Amino acid sequence: MKAVEVVESLQRRFPNEPEYIQAVSQVLETIEEEYNKHPEFERVNLIERLCIPDRIIKFRVNWVDDKGNIQTNMGYRVQHSNVIGPYKGGLRFHTSVNESILKFLAFEQTFKNSLTTLPMGGGKGGSDFSPRGKSNAEVMRFCQAFMSELWHYIGPDCDVPAGDIGVGGREVGYMFGQYKKLTHQFVGILTGKGQEFGGSLIRPEATGYGNVYFLQNMLKTRNIDLKGKTVLVSGSGNVAQYTIEKLLHLGAKPVTCSDSDGYIYDPDGINEEKLAYIMELKNIERGRIREYAEKYGVKYVPGAKPWFEKADIATPCATQNEINAEAATALINNGIIAVTKGANMPSTPEAVRIFQEAKVLYCPGKASNAGGVAVSGLEMTQNSERLKWDREEVDQKLHNIMDDIHENCVRYGTEPDGYVNYVKGANIAGFIKVAKAIMAQGIV
């Protein structure tokens, strides 16, 4: 297998899907050597079967706004691979959603889920609908219309969606209610549910907490303590909020937060009181992060990202490709020692090369942000057994899973000079399990 040739072939077949091609390219170039140690893979065209989704479901969603007008959006579910378990991955509601973005996310999700060691395949879905600026009634009507089509293609042993950008506890609740009405079944069809109807403790916190647990492991490889380190965080949603919370628990100092309008920089640090304000602002009032700057009298930069501020660690928790080459160079020049990801593919390929050439601690999202889907898997287990584990038990299981992911990344990614190439390590570790499962199950 020659990675360049495979990517060129996919580009010809899918010329208008840059995010998907980027994700495939970044994985294939790191697994090429390992893949070619297994000639049996090439004989059954495993690489193409691995890159192309099992199926893509597309549908129209009609819903009625508060003025009585009928609105139309597109809905999608990309079921990438179920060779190691039911399709598993979030639903994203955002105006940027298209087939390319969901294919990249489902592809990445397949390897992320493999890394958790739990029996979950990879999938992703969503809509170009945005909850921003919509009333609760409008969001409910959209979610009900969306699920009225999606329910045909999902099930607790088939495909179990969760939340993602634009899909939090409110949206999950509305979709779960509609699924229950349509099927007359109370099953664990969605994860990220409320505590009152089958949700797992630690699930809202899991991606952010897992991100920081992985960061701790990275720092330990160089005998560096997280305590006292200054951290740049992007985003202000669920992942960013609980990344900040865990950073505070461990003695670090987060100084930035952002949304699509801009970012705030608080040199005194975002403490527990300020974090509580962010959570209320974003989760309840649905406000904008500039209101933080107005309340606390700190710097606000509209239309920008926080990567040009000085800090020890950066953790992007917003969206894909938010760190480009210019931002990566600025981070290096400002003395950054580690970059860990709460978001999916937040660095461009050029930025990744800059971080790796500078030998900073750098990991891909499929490793460091796997905590969310890991606890989703634990939620599925609790639903199947009709049990509810306590907070400490779930948190310990999450911590153990993140430790295991880090160990596998080090195993497959350590280079001759001792530098841990976490991108290579995560991709190979995730790939090997999926590839062996494909081989074992025949040509299907």
Mean pLDDT by 10 residues, the chain (444 residues): 96 96 95 96 95 98 98 98 98 97 97 96 98 96 98 97 94 98 97 96 95 98 97 96 98 97 97 98 93 97 97 95 96 97 91 96 94 96 95 97 97 96 96 97 92
Give per-residue pLDDT as tens, 230-287: 999 999 999 999 999 999 999 999 999 999 999 999 999 999 999 999 999 999 998 9
Question: Residue 429 corresponds to which tokens in the numbers above?
Answer: 């570790």
pLDDT at residue 90, as a whole number? 96
pLDDT at residue 345, as a whole number? 85
Same fold, 3-186 and 204-363: yes
pLDDT at residue 44, as a whole number? 96
Does domain 3-186 sit in CATH 3.40.190.10? Answer: no
pLDDT at residue 364, as a whole number? 93
pLDDT at residue 319, as a whole number? 87
Query: Which residue positions form the known binding site?
Result: 88, 109, 112, 163, 207, 238, 376
Residue 124 annotated in active site: yes
Residue 390, Cβ density class (10 Å: 0-12 exposed, 13-18 middle, ≥19 buried):
exposed
Query: Which residue positions form the known binding site for NAD(+)?
Result: 207, 238
Does domain 204-363 sit in CATH 3.40.50.720? Answer: yes
pLDDT at residue 420, as a whole number? 96
pLDDT at residue 191, as a whole number? 97
Phi/psi class of residue 286: alpha, beta or left (left: φ > 0; alpha: ψ in -120 to 50)?
Answer: left
pLDDT at residue 413, as a whole number? 96
d(Cα 238, Cα 245) in Å, to the nearest integer?
A: 11
Contacts of 248 (CB under 8 A, 6+ apart): 254, 270, 271, 272, 275
Look up the pTM and report it. Answer: 0.90
Give per-residue pLDDT as tens, 12-70: 999 999 999 999 999 999 999 999 999 999 999 999 999 999 999 999 999 999 999 99
pLDDT at residue 344, as a whole number? 85
Annotated active-site residue in 103, 124, 282, 341: 124
256-259/70-81 β-pairing: unpaired
For residues 374 and 401, the answer to whether their CB atoms sit within 8 Å is: yes
Query: Which residue positions form the known binding site for substrate?
Result: 88, 109, 112, 163, 376
In the chain, where are the structural domains located?
Answer: 3-186, 204-363
- Please state the length of the chain: 444
